[in-house]
Structure 1
Amino acid sequence: MKILLYQEIKLLEIMKLKYLFIATLLSTATFSQNQKDSLKEIEQVNILVKKKLLERKADRLIFNVDASIASQGMDAGETLANVPMLKVDENLGTISIIGKSSVNVMLNGRMLNLSGAALLNYLKSIRSENISKIEVITSPPSKYEAQGNSGLINIILKKNPNLGFSGNISSGLTQRTYHNGSTNGTLNYQTDKFSLSLKTSYIEGAKRSNERYNILGESRNYSESTRKDMWRDLTPSLNASYKINKNSEIGIEYIYGGDKNGMNILNTTRNISSALKETNLITNTFHREKSPTHTFSTYYDLKLDSLGKKLSFAGNFFKNINDTEVNFSTVSLPENTVQNVKTLSKVQPQIFSVQADLELPFSFGTIETGVKFNQFRNSADLKYLNLENNHYIIDEEKGSQFRYQEENYAVYGSFAKNFGEHWETKAGIRYENTFVKSTVNNFNYGQWFPSAFVSYKNEKNVFSLSYSRRINRPSMSNLNPFRWYENPYSYSSGNPLLTPSYISNYELGYTFDNKFSTSIYYLKLKNAFGQIGSLDGISQTGGYLNYYNNDFYGMNASYTDTFFKFWEATFTLNATIQTSEVFGIEAEAQRGKSLSYSINNTFILNKKRTVALFLNYDQSLPNNNVNSHFHNYLDLTSGIKVSLMEKQLQINATVTNIFAQRFRGDMYYKDNSQFFNNYWDGRSLRISLNYTFGNNKKFNKKNIKFDEKDRAQ
């Protein structure tokens, strides 16, 4: 131990001498460009010496981007895919932590007000060279929203000491069945006090999906849909901040989403009744949607002293007006009759939130406390019209209106303390009181959400233990009683009587030598809800119910290392066992189990380290969950990335889902069995270019937390 400590002290002394030497040279301002380049290389080497690939803290796992050769020359979305226990699926527009149902992404500690494809497109404008580290928080502490079984990803950008203009332009082309294009532009300007960032992203494209769904019981129903999804999204944003003085800063952010989406669907349904009467339906559907969104956020930070005490205020506002028109034309056989139907819907979610956070570091520990209020409102109107004598007539029985308002009041407090060099602890509690008013019912409920974390580190070993309790409130699509029709006889709808589910998370983690990380976790889920399908004659319907409890026991492990100086590999493994209890439906729960693994490889192909080949493989073996069975699913992705012009120009080419895998599953009830077999155009060829100009260090902007926004989906 003494020898190791002595070596660390000597290394620090050597590095200090190097930096003093560099500072002396800089002060003379007489050295050559070659000397500058050499000094730059020395600085980069020193950074690599200091950086550890993985670090485990009491409440998070930290991935240092500079220490990963696989993460160089990429955008932020691609970088996240290299972080152990994270999965990025551009085809589905999702970012997830293994073992979590959803995830929220923060930038420099403030929530990004984007989700899905818009979030992934935004991340393409952030280069990996400008990212310092990525924090993976599997059990969020009490400071953050208790909503959902979600983890948090916090992207920490490098500080920007330079002033002036900088920016980047990127463009990408994805070829699936149809082609897709995207363009992103960023322009940053910074002075000593003022910072401004303008971003614009535009995506346009389409993809083909094929979905098969069969229900086999006393009667049988075979349905197949071939769908063309189309989108055209323009998303400009503005972010500005101003330092009023050395202790206070104010900032704003505005994001506009101009989404225009559509679907063309051909659905064929074959129904065989219990009396063996067969009916065939052929439905052509034309779905067109306009969904402009406005997001406005603001913050004010005030430093109370030089020791780190800080008071922060933030406010958020989100509004969306979704107008959708769907036209159905259904041919019924053998009668050979034609039925034309139209639905017109307008959905208008609106969210408002304000919060205040106080951070108080003392010699005996750090206290954090805060309050938050958020209001979620939605109005939804659906009109169902039948075509009769060349005129559309409103069917009052099939139309609906729904009004919903939810107010949530929250207060939290936490205390963190380190004991010497080895122990790190943190504990907190959050209370949320929720009031709900809707067209159907009114109610309120209050809940406590405690959390606790402790970690111990010694030389190469780090142990951590965490606990948190969370709530999963239904989203708007879960609650909305609208009938979203597939044909005049089949539809899905939400359930306004859904109640929240509750999650308790326990996790024991271990990290060795900053390369190997593993955790064992237990998750208890109560009053969980999901979608249930049923068949009544030729009418196939789907709705949401609270219907099961779950006990999850899981283990995940990852190992990342560099071999032969040119090959970086990450191996991950996740396994779960779960028991379930079903209520309110006629089904028998199965003892669940799952096993998945992935291998990510990056090979550096030249001495300048500007050309790299990557080959990634992941597989989910057949697994059970509640009353469902999911089949084997595997994914192979490969590509090449090239850095030119001193890494200002990045060129990437990727082939995804090379085996064109389908997603298959079976669900078992006492009176029927249901089977699905879906393909969502996963195989694709992607080519992207990114050019960075001006100040090549990332603009260090703030983002405001807006955790509630995802529930508007």
Structure 2
Amino acid sequence: MKRILLSIAVIFGTCAFAQEKKSDTTKTKNIEGITITKQVFKKQSDRLVYDVSASPVAKGNTTFDLLKQTPLLSSTDDKTLKIAGKNNVLIFINGRKSNMDAESLAQFLKNTPAENIQKIEVITVPGSEYQVESSDGIINIVLKKKMSDGLNGNMRFSNTQAKYNGSQASFSANYRKDKLGISASLSGGENIEAQTYTLKNSSEKASNESTGDIDDPNKNIGGYLNIDYQLNDNSNLALSWNTWANKSYNSTVNLFNTIINKDGTFYTWSKNKEDSRSYNNSLNLNYELKTDSLGSKLNVNAAYLNYKRFQFTDNNTFESDINRTVKNKSIQLFQELPQIINNFSGMVDYIQKFKNDLTISVGGNYNKTKTDNNTKNDTYFYDSITTIERKPNHFIYDENIYGFYLTAEKKFSDKFSGKVGARYEITNSLGTSDNPPAGVEDLKRIERNYNNFLPYLSLNYSINDKNNISYSFSSRMRRPSFWEINPVKNKLTDNNYTQNNPFVKASTNYNQELMYMYKNSYFVVLNHSYIKDVITQVPLQGYPKHPNGEVGKNLALRYIRTNFGDKQEMSAMIGIQKSFFKQYWTTNFSIGAQHNRNNGSLDMDPTTGDRFVDEEGKPLIYNNTINSTSLLIQTNNTIRLDKAKSWFLGVNFFFIDKQQVELGQIRSLASLDISIKKNWNDWTFALNANDILKTNIVEIDDYQTNGNYNYIHQNRYQRNVTLSLT
């Protein structure tokens, strides 16, 4: 049930442009009359480094809150993070990719105290050595390691009041003894994710409207364990384990539906209930060997992920009237939607440094994934005679990826350096289904084999100690995620649902970025992305015409996961990050624009073979060739209120102008957040108020030339107040 509507929210989160932030905050200490200034934010080669340990922002915050305030990062939905000009973000922890799913990762970050973080690295255009996809950027979170023998730690408690109340708690510890270092964290919480939801779709002579509430209660528990052991002066062995479990029982959807067609006006209730639980466990073993005094090294890494999700839904449709009276049950759908994912990956890298400032890197990786989705669908029709329709489907997907890369990085002078590389990837995948829908027999076996050559280039020029300019180019693939290709239907109402698609193929992305920085405080960033065969969610609307020629009697709306033409995204951003008045006021401010060019069309549901027609039987095609330009503003401010550095006021604001994406036009969004924080010895008390003006509500309009209209209104109760104690 989360994925039914959050998939729509993710469309927004994926397409809405992330604003940019820079940080050049400094921390000053006086020692015997000498002032030592530590730079908090700086550019290093292919990444921007935020030294959290030197920032006053970290204390008392969660890691997720800290990331939202990190230069170039933002979040508009409080679930997903974005890098400026990038569609997606990959989270690395201590230089190794996190294998947690999106929901587990968000909860993990929200329950990890920011005091555990040493630094955050933002890699806007990853090099060939990284196995990333599409326009992914990388956020590398470097956890603190205790450098001296002993034990330390922290704990955090928080309570959030939105529509419902939620609470979280976490405990973390660091231990070191000689060559052995251990860090661990345990966290958990419970909350109810609430939505008020309206979905409208209409043609010239028919319409559907669904409006109501969605409540999704969640209980979470998880944590991590990191162990590193220094074998000798040149080698180190590290083991990390991340785990997360979620339980969401009695998640409910209550939507009142108004249906208008050629036979009149009808009213129904959709009352759905879902019980789900998921488990995510990942292991990572890393070995590093230094081979010379210049910094050359061998890195060997092996990782394993086991993800299980068990989902049970009971979707009911009741007859009703204009007064919203709940009458007889007409349709009931029982679904079991289990998903089991096993992933193994191995990687070997060797970096050779030479005395002439040349670095050669070579390596390879292997990634094997198997997903098992044994779905059951039983539909009961309650007429004069109750009938049942069973549609089980066992979908298994195997994917093997082989990757090889070579990069050369050269420092030509104190001012000029460059990096060139290439990656070659071989992908072999096979999806099988034992019970495909009638007319789509191709679903029985879907085999894909493709090879890709992916070049990379990066140039960096330091004009002087105050001015720096850099350019990067990369090409990447974007493979569909495992849940996107699982051919299940997530029902919202009888006529509206989302549909995953095993026929989705990989898309290609070409990215360019030009960045200018002055004193690590002022910046200009230009981005351009060209995406071929965009993977997205497309609304198909009309009367479904099945492959056998039968036409449905009600107007239907299906959100289909598919490839949808090509797209270009261009953005320009200028900003400042600076401290004023002896660091009493630190501000991140950025303003810019994004231009989207869409070019896609779709006329058939590829998972069923259904086409859509109007009342006269004429074919309906969904087109999106609309271009849009949007204004983007974001500012984060931290104000120190006293000399003792114990009271801090935070004032944050973002604004995103309306823009065109695949689903239609997203109306403007904004959020004003205010916080107050008190540091008292080893304690931190904080009060955060988010979306004070209640302006962070998703609304999407879509007008088609064929007369179709779609509208989404999604209030996820972003206005909330959180009280925390660390």
Contact 2:399 2:430 in 1 (8 A): yes
Q: Secondary structure at the match of 1:77?
A: helix
Matched, 1:665 2:700: yes
- In structure 2, relative to structure 1, the CA distance for the partners of 1:627 and 1:345 (3 Å cut) is closer
Matched, 1:415 2:426: no
Partner residue, 2:304: 317
Q: 1:249 aligns with which of 230, 236, 252?
A: 236
Contact 1:427 1:453 in 2 (8 A): yes
Contact 2:594 2:632 in 1 (8 A): no
Residue type of the alignment partner of 2:336: L
- In structure 2, relative to structure 1, the CA distance for the partners of 1:611 and 1:194 (3 Å cut) is same
Contact 1:169 1:185 in 2 (8 A): yes
Partner residue, 1:442: 447
Partner residue, 1:233: 220
Deviation at residue 470 of structure 1 after TM alignment: 1.0
- In structure 2, relative to structure 1, the CA distance for the partners of 1:136 and 1:378 (3 Å cut) is same
Matched, 1:506 2:515: no
Q: Distance in 2 between matches of 1:230 and 1:358?
A: 47
Contact 1:504 1:525 in 2 (8 A): yes
Offset from partner CA, 1:263-309 (integer Å, 9 cap, x none)? 11101111111x25112120211110021222122111112222211
Q: 2:174 aligns with which of 172, 188, 199?
A: 188
Q: 2:425 aligns with which of 405, 417, 432?
A: 432
Matches of residues 357-372 of structure 1 in structure 2 within 5 Å? 357-364=349-356, 365-372=358-365
Q: Which runs of 5+ in 2 are unaligned?
A: 1-27, 433-442, 544-553, 604-620
Q: Distance in 1 between matches of 2:386 and 2:372?
A: 24
Q: Secondary structure at the match of 2:487?
A: coil
- In structure 2, relative to structure 1, the CA distance for the partners of 1:454 and 1:57 (3 Å cut) is farther
- In structure 2, relative to structure 1, the CA distance for the partners of 1:429 and 1:624 (3 Å cut) is same
Partner residue, 1:683: 719
Contact 2:147 2:176 in 1 (8 A): no
Q: Distance in 1 between matches of 2:163 and 2:456?
A: 47
Partner residue, 2:647: 611
| Alignment root-mean-square deviation, CA | 2.5
Contact 1:71 1:82 in 2 (8 A): no
Q: 2:593 aligns with which of 575, 578, 581?
A: 575
Q: 1:395 aligns with which of 381, 389, 396?
A: 389
Q: Secondary structure at the match of 1:491?
A: strand
Matches of residues 629-708 of structure 1 in structure 2 within 5 Å? 629-645=665-681, 648-661=682-695, 662-671=697-706, 672-690=708-726
Matches of residues 530-541 of structure 1 in structure 2 within 5 Å? 530-533=536-539, 534-536=541-543, 537-541=554-558
**For structure 1, which segment, 70-79 or 668-677, has the greater mean C-alpha deviation from structure 2 after superposition?**
70-79
Q: Distance in 1 between matches of 2:345 and 2:386?
A: 41
Q: Distance in 2 between matches of 1:386 and 1:122?
A: 37
Residue type of the alignment partner of 1:667: D
Q: Distance in 2 between matches of 1:687 and 1:567?
A: 23
Q: Distance in 2 between matches of 1:43 and 1:502?
A: 58
Deviation at residue 188 of structure 1 after TM alignment: 2.2
Deviation at residue 127 of structure 1 after TM alignment: 5.3
Partner residue, 1:496: 502
Q: Distance in 2 between matches of 1:70 and 1:292?
A: 33
Matches of residues 10-89 of structure 1 in structure 2 within 5 Å? 41-42=30-31, 47=36, 49-51=37-39, 53-65=40-52, 68-71=55-58, 73-89=60-76
Deviation at residue 187 of structure 1 after TM alignment: 2.2
Matched, 1:558 2:575: yes
Q: Distance in 1 between matches of 2:587 and 2:350?
A: 41
Partner residue, 1:266: 254
Q: Distance in 1 between matches of 2:294 and 2:32?
A: 29
Q: 2:378 aligns with which of 350, 361, 385?
A: 385
Partner residue, 2:435: none
The list of structure 1 runs, each at least 4 consecutive aligned residues, that deviate by more than 6 angstroms after superposition, is: 388-394
- In structure 2, relative to structure 1, the CA distance for the partners of 1:355 and 1:133 (3 Å cut) is same
Residue type of the alignment partner of 1:267: L
Partner residue, 1:160: 146
Q: Distance in 2 between matches of 1:244 and 1:627?
A: 54
Partner residue, 1:9: none
Deviation at residue 452 of structure 1 after TM alignment: 0.8
Q: Distance in 1 between matches of 2:387 and 2:277?
A: 24
Higher relative contact order, structure no. (Cα contacts within 8 Å, ≥ 6 residues apart): 1
Partner residue, 2:276: 289
Contact 2:690 2:720 in 1 (8 A): yes
Deviation at residue 488 of structure 1 after TM alignment: 4.0
Contact 1:142 1:430 in 2 (8 A): yes
Q: Secondary structure at the match of 1:257?
A: strand
Contact 2:154 2:171 in 1 (8 A): yes
- In structure 2, relative to structure 1, the CA distance for the partners of 1:72 and 1:42 (3 Å cut) is farther
Partner residue, 1:343: 335
Contact 2:381 2:388 in 1 (8 A): no
Residue type of the alignment partner of 2:724: S
Contact 2:422 2:454 in 1 (8 A): yes
Q: Secondary structure at the match of 2:200?
A: strand
Residue type of the alignment partner of 1:312: N
Matched, 1:542 2:556: no
Residue type of the alignment partner of 1:579: R
Count the aligned residue pairs: 645
Q: Secondary structure at the match of 2:231?
A: strand
**For structure 1, which segment, 294-303 or 463-472, has the greater mean C-alpha deviation from structure 2 after superposition?**
294-303
Deviation at residue 77 of structure 1 after TM alignment: 2.5
Q: Distance in 2 between matches of 1:353 and 1:526?
A: 27
Deviation at residue 544 of structure 1 after TM alignment: 1.6
- In structure 2, relative to structure 1, the CA distance for the partners of 1:406 and 1:606 (3 Å cut) is same
Q: Which runs of 5+ in 1 are unaligned?
A: 1-38, 691-713
Residue type of the alignment partner of 2:597: T
Deviation at residue 460 of structure 1 after TM alignment: 0.9
Q: Secondary structure at the match of 1:478?
A: helix
Deviation at residue 510 of structure 1 after TM alignment: 0.2
Partner residue, 2:184: 198
Partner residue, 2:96: 110
Offset from partner CA, 1:245-269 (integer Å, 9 cap, x none)? 2222222222232211141110111
Deviation at residue 526 of structure 1 after TM alignment: 0.7
Matched, 1:602 2:638: yes
Deviation at residue 317 of structure 1 after TM alignment: 1.1
- In structure 2, relative to structure 1, the CA distance for the partners of 1:120 and 1:401 (3 Å cut) is closer
Deviation at residue 627 of structure 1 after TM alignment: 6.7
Contact 2:209 2:257 in 1 (8 A): yes
Contact 1:555 1:576 in 2 (8 A): yes
Contact 2:407 2:421 in 1 (8 A): yes
Deviation at residue 392 of structure 1 after TM alignment: 10
